[in-house]
Amino acid sequence: MTTPDAGGHVPTTTAAESLWLAGRPDDVRYPVPADRRDFDVLVLGGGITGLTTALLLTQRGARVAVLEADRIGSGATGNNTAKVTALQSTMLSTIERTRGEHVAAAYAERSVAGVELVAALVKELGLDCDLRRRAAYTVAAEKAELRSVEKEAAAATRAGLPVETTDDVDLPFPVAGAVRLDDQVEIHPVRYAHGLAAAIERGGSCVFEGTRATAVSEGRPVRVSTTHGELTGEQVVVATHFPVWDRGLYFARMQATRAYCLAARVRGEPSRGMSITAGSPSWSFRSAGDLMIVCGQDHSVGARGVDPGRYGALEEYVRRHWDVEEITHRWSAQDAVPYDRTPMIGAYTPVSSRMYVAAGYSKWGLSGGSMAAALLSERLSGGAADEVFSPHRFSVRGLPALVRMNAKVALDLVGDRLTFGDVADGTGLAPGQAGVVRSGTDRTGVFRDEAGGLHAVSIRCTHLGCLLRFNGAERSWDCPCHGSRFDVDGAVLEGPAVEPLARRDPPAPG
């Protein structure tokens, strides 16, 4: 049974949504598909990757439809730290280790191009999204992290980035050292996403909200089934954050992780640099006006024992280092991390000629998604494939990570079936608590809401049948195998699942 305060902390957050989503334009809505159903390109996903790809293709004269299951920017785009940078913690030294210097250099070059594409589109379209140029830092918060920072500085230099090492970082605590890259970008990502969507519509293409893609047939034309009927196109781009459908086996080559964020109004000047620590656990920092944003408390999706203590630990950290007047927002984000840490951008399967994918940005989706959009728009317009980011590469040096990832999945898939339920029924659950009821081989997840109502669902994931675990910090049922997430009534929050959980009657007492 999961309790709301099992971590012993009670965050004082006033808004349980991201700073960015709280400021989205509620008067701007996009329809579901109606009469117009045939397009040149169907783009699945209304985040940074999908919207940027659609805009670049529209500017090249294509007729594009963007299909978003929820609202524009409501997923990973609206739940991140909103840093757009080519210096990304220890990514370059990690890619050097898993794939070599030439891949790290290509990744750095494309990341720089992604940063500059965002800046160029903001200027070209006249977007009001709080874009500012900032320095980015990878920081050794302790002496033990200094070697990682030095390796990242060396890798970044070999990759052609104009970095410098320093111990002068805009943070309210001493650091052992840092690597710095100037002239990077911070934005309001939801305003940026809405600006892209508006430009797509002005260009003659379409944006559809509340339209989930449920199946695809890669013929000529490509046929995409949705919750609002079928659409057709010559090509389709799957930009759903974690790729839906299993034909590319992406679920077996990426790990889903979550992290948590707080925005705090602080007395005095917030730290203006975009910083992230190099150690584990990692802490990420940036400002937004008079607010300080701090993120951390990472864990794999579906980890056991996740409770509101994640936010409590963040709040304690923020209050320890800043003079906090008020905690204003809290949110969490999900990321897909490939086994070799390099994005997967290209044909959906080795034999696909009309279906493409972009995924696996390892927590750096604003620059990575923009990079992917540039590559995909070139490819769909007749350009050559970029083999560095081919989704079908095999990285020998990444093989140990791949084996560990899938061994964990196998353990979760089998191990949870051997455990008993943790409650007999829902009668003993307090508001905010959840439990699992076992009946033979069946499992029902039960949650009691603040009004005392019970919500009961099957906790067998609709993707590949793993048993879900309750996330008490976000009040969701999460899959430890491949990262799908569902709300307490079974609706899909995150893929690769596309079908909701079966709803059930709450178990009878006794």
DSSP string, 429-480: PPTT-EEEEEETTEEEEEEE-TTS-EEEEE-B-TTT-PBPEEETTTTEEE-T
Contact 63, 204 (CB under 8 A): yes
Does residue 390 belong to any structural domain of this protein?
yes
Find residue 338's DSSP bridge partners: 254
Beta strands 83-84 and 177-186, pairing class = antiparallel
Do 246 and 345 share a structural domain? Answer: yes
Q: Token pair of 78, please? A: 């609206």
Higher pLDDT, 280 or 124: 124
* pLDDT for res 491: 92
Spatial distance between the Cα atoms of 274 and 293, rounded to a whole number of angstroms: 10
What pLDDT was estimated at residue 51? Answer: 98
What pLDDT is attached to residue 466?
A: 87
Strand ranges of the sheet holding 476-478, from the earlier edge strand across to the other edge: 469-471, 476-478, 485-486, 492-494
User: Which range (262-271, 318-327, 359-368, 415-424) has the least confidence?
Assistant: 415-424
Phi (first) and psi of residue 257, to 5 degrees: -130, 155
Nearest to 163 by CA among 144, 175, 149, 143: 149
Kindly tell me if the per-residue pLDDT of 2 is higher than 50: no
Confidence of residue 10 (pLDDT cuts 50, 70, 90): very low
In this prediction, residue 398 carries a pLDDT of: 67
What pLDDT sits at residue 422?
Answer: 63
Residue 427 shares a structural domain with residue 383: no
Quickly state the pLDDT bin for 4 (edges 50, 70, 90).
very low
Cβ atoms of 293 and 19 closer than 8 Å: yes
Q: Which of 123-127, 335-339, 372-376 has the lowest mean pLDDT?
A: 335-339
Domain count, the chain: 2
473 in a structural domain: yes
Is the peptide bond prior to 343 cis by the omega test (within 30 degrees of 0)? no
Whether pLDDT at 508 is above 80: no
> Is 439 in the same domain as 385?
no
pLDDT grade for 6, boundaries at 50, 70 and 90 = very low
pLDDT category, 357, cuts 50, 70, 90? very high
Torsion angles phi and psi, residue 99, rounded to 5: -135, -5
The three-class DSSP label of residue 298 is: strand
pTM as predicted: 0.90
- Name the residue with higher pLDDT: 485 or 440: 485
Which pLDDT does position 141 carry in this prediction? 92
Please tell me the predicted confidence (pLDDT) of residue 143: 93
| Same-domain pairing of 360 and 435 | no
Range of the domain at 497: 419-504
pLDDT of residue 12: 41
Mean pLDDT of 140-165: 96
Q: 347 pLDDT exceeds 90? A: yes
Dihedral sign for Cα 225, 228, 232, 238, please: negative
- 348 shares a domain with 241: yes
Which residue in the block uniquely carries the two structure tokens 């989503």? 21
Q: How far apart are CA 460 and CA 412, in angstroms?
A: 12
CB 225 within 8 A of CB 216: yes
CA–CA gap between residue 83 and residue 86 (Å, rounded)? 10
Domain CATH number, residue 469: 2.102.10.10
Residue 40 lies in a domain: yes
Lowest mean pLDDT among 184-198, 224-238, 282-296, 383-397: 383-397
- The reply to whether 356 and 432 lie within a common domain is no
Q: Do 346 and 241 share a domain, yes or no? A: yes
Euclidean distance between CA atoms 68 and 495, whole angstroms: 13
Determine the pLDDT at residue 423.
66
Give domain status of residue 355, yes or no: yes
**Complete edge-to-edge strand list for the sheet that includes strand 503-504:** 434-439, 442-448, 454-458, 503-504
| pLDDT (average), residues 209-216 | 94
Q: Is residue 161 part of a domain?
A: no
Cα–Cα distance measured from residue 107 to residue 167, given in angstroms and rounded to the nearest whole number: 26
CA distance 509 to 5: 25
CATH number at residue 388: 3.50.50.60
**The pLDDT of residue 20:** 93
Q: Output the 3-class SS for 61-83.
A: CCCEEEECCCCCCCCHHHCCCCE
Report pLDDT digits (tens) over 65-96: 999 999 999 999 999 999 999 999 999 999 99
pLDDT per position as a tens digit, 25-77: 777 899 999 988 999 999 999 999 999 999 999 999 999 999 999 999 999 99
Do 245 and 390 reside in the same domain of the chain? yes
370 with 428, same domain: the answer is no
- At residue 159, does pLDDT exceed 80? yes
Q: Are residues 243 and 351 in the same domain?
A: yes
Task: Tell me the pLDDT tens digit for each residue of 260-317.
Answer: 999 999 999 999 999 999 988 899 999 999 999 999 998 888 888 888 888 999 999 9
Tell me, yes or no, whether 486 lies in a domain. Answer: yes
For residue 359, the model assigns a pLDDT of 95
Cα Rg of the chain (Å, integer): 22
d(CA 476, CA 469): 8
Cβ atoms of 355 and 235 closer than 8 Å: yes
Q: Classify residue 384 by its DSSP letter.
A: P
Give the confidence band of 249 by pLDDT, cuts at 50, 70, 90.
confident
What CA–CA distance (Å, rounded) separates 241 from 506? 33
Q: What is the DSSP string of 327-347?
A: EEEEEEEEEEEETTS--EEEE
Same domain, 238 and 355: yes
Statement to judge: residues 458 and 387 lie in one domain: no
Question: Over pLDDT 70: what percentage of the chain?
Answer: 91
